[in-house]
Amino acid sequence: MQTKSDDLQVLCEWARDLGKTYAFLDFHVHPYDVLSEDTRYKPDPLIDGLFSRGLFKYHPPALETGSDGLPDKSQSVSDNQRAFILSSRFTYNHTGPKVFADQIELVGLAGVMLLPVARTSGKAEEMLEVSRLMFLRDGRLLPGCAFPVGVQPDQLAGFFKGARDVNGIRAIKLHPNLAGINPLTQVGQDLIHASLAAAGDLNLPMIVHAGRTPCIEPVDSREFGTMTRLALVDWGISAAPVILAHAGCYSLTLAESNEALLILDSLLEKHSNLMVDVSNLEPPIIRLVLEKISPDRLIFGSDALYIPIWKAWIRFLKALQMVSAHPDDDLIRIASLNPAQCLSLTDKSARISL
């Protein structure tokens, strides 16, 4: 039953009811802090599936409403690089199947796509192994693969094939800003195009960070994933879906987001394989994206744990009910049918078998 209520529980129950028939996925979750690349976690001796750094106590998530009727806003971006990095690391004191299971069970999601990000040589390989040992036993946690920094274009196909065959990866994550891949250069384009060709051959969706990344060095790398640069890439090289994350608007102002969405719209017209996710956007920008981009090209993602899955889900549900004339149909399309299609899991009943 459709509802326009501001109540978080009512929003969740609306989605849960639809989720009895259509399995909803979060297509954009990070198992580790993308800034530090730290995978040095130890299993908790008392809580099964929980992995921790340090002695911080784990607190399961709960729905919390802010004074404006929405969940409190996600962590603000600090101009201080050290504070930004410390805040990012603190968010990832805990990870593991327990952390993500608690998040999705709170709001009734069926699963998540785990997208590690590597910034230095050898880290993507390490993350594949750590993730296999840490997350493999929970089938709701779908393994992704980070772009491997330092691997040459002619070796990428072999790398991703091995990751699929040995580690069972279901998607590839490309973060131009953090991996240092500049689409303005021939080297950058060669790496991106080789990754796209491999993804297409292996029928693996590729999720690409689209937007700015504040506070990283060198300064120019903060802009590698902006839409003006991504527009130079031939995304049609891959026959598999390519998902431009954050709708190209990550860390952009509302005015900048309007400009980015104009470029994005032209790319969607040009490349039929392109999709867009709505991960970690503030409510006004989520609404803008929902107004301008067809539900047929949208996918739900949270960007957890930088924003909790439940909080991103509630923001998305609320924005969808504010904007959509057919919120039931659009929710099913964006959070179930589209991700299922990207994973080649769609059948006539639109169920997702994880």
pLDDT at 172 over 60: yes
Whether omega before 116 lies within 30 degrees of 0, making that bond cis, reads no
Q: pTM (2 decimals)?
A: 0.92
pLDDT score, position 89:
80
CA 196 from centre of chain: 18
The answer to whether the beta carbons of residues 315 and 303 sit under 8 Å apart is: no
> Per-residue pLDDT tens for 312-342?
999 999 999 999 999 999 999 999 999 999 9
Residue 220 CB partners (closer than 8 Å, separation 6+): 182
Q: Considering the chain, what percentage of its residues have pLDDT values greater than 70?
A: 90
d(CA 310, CA 206): 24
Q: Which residue has the tokens 């998040």?
A: 103
The answer to whether the beta carbons of residues 145 and 52 sit under 8 Å apart is: no
Mean pLDDT for the chain overall: 91
Tokens of 202: 């292996």
Q: Considering the chain, what percentage of its residues have pLDDT values greater than 90?
A: 84
- Average pLDDT on 5-11 reads 76
- CA torsion 309-315-316-322 (nearest 10°) is 170
The answer to whether the beta carbons of residues 15 and 8 sit under 8 Å apart is: no
Grouping H, G, I as helix, E, B as strand and the rest as coil, residue 117 is coil
Give the residue among 293, 303, 297, 231 at the shortest CA–CA distance from 258. Answer: 293
> Per-residue pLDDT tens for 52-102?
998 899 999 998 765 334 444 443 444 566 676 777 888 999 999 999 999
pLDDT at 350 over 80: no
pLDDT score, position 354:
47
> Per-residue pLDDT tens for 111-123?
999 999 999 999 9
Domains and CATH numbers, the chain: 8-342 (3.20.20.140)
